[in-house]
Amino acid sequence: MLCRHCGTEIADKAIICYRCGAGTTDPVRTPAAATRRRSSLVGLVVIAILLSLALFMGQASRTVADPNQYQIIAGVLVGVALVLFIFRIVRRR
């Protein structure tokens, strides 16, 4: 049998060519397609922005006459940031 790549005479039962290292048969399995992962930096930036907005709302609630609205918004922002953080941890596993 002749090697398909370099033309060297090799044994009929050879798996690879001893000269060039090329396989004598086509692979049985094709490699899985690589999926593109999103950058983890984007998620961390979003979480940091949510937490900084929550801190700002908490600080702003000290100076207004009706602080309940600002405190509720700050609590919701912290809650959303925590849910996003937990979702990121669970998704990695």
Tens digits of residue pLDDT in 1-35: 888 889 899 998 888 998 998 888 877 788 788 77
Domain that holds residue 78: 40-92
Which residue reads 């000269």 in tokens? Answer: 19
Asked, for residue 5, whether it belongs to a domain, the answer is no
Which residue reads 């999103």 in tokens? Answer: 38
Is 0.75 surpassed by the pTM of this model? no
CA distance linking residue 68 with residue 52, whole number of Å: 18
Asked, for residue 33, whether it belongs to a domain, the answer is no
Contacts 24+ apart (CB under 8 A), 72-77: 77/50, 77/51, 77/53
For 53, the token pair is 């907005």
Cβ–Cβ under 8 Å, residues 1 and 9: yes
Asked, for residue 87, whether it belongs to a domain, the answer is yes
**Residue at 25: amino acid letter:** T
For 49, the token pair is 């922005």
**Residue range 30-62, pLDDT digits in tens:** 878 877 666 678 888 888 999 999 999 888 888
Asked, for residue 32, whether it belongs to a domain, the answer is no
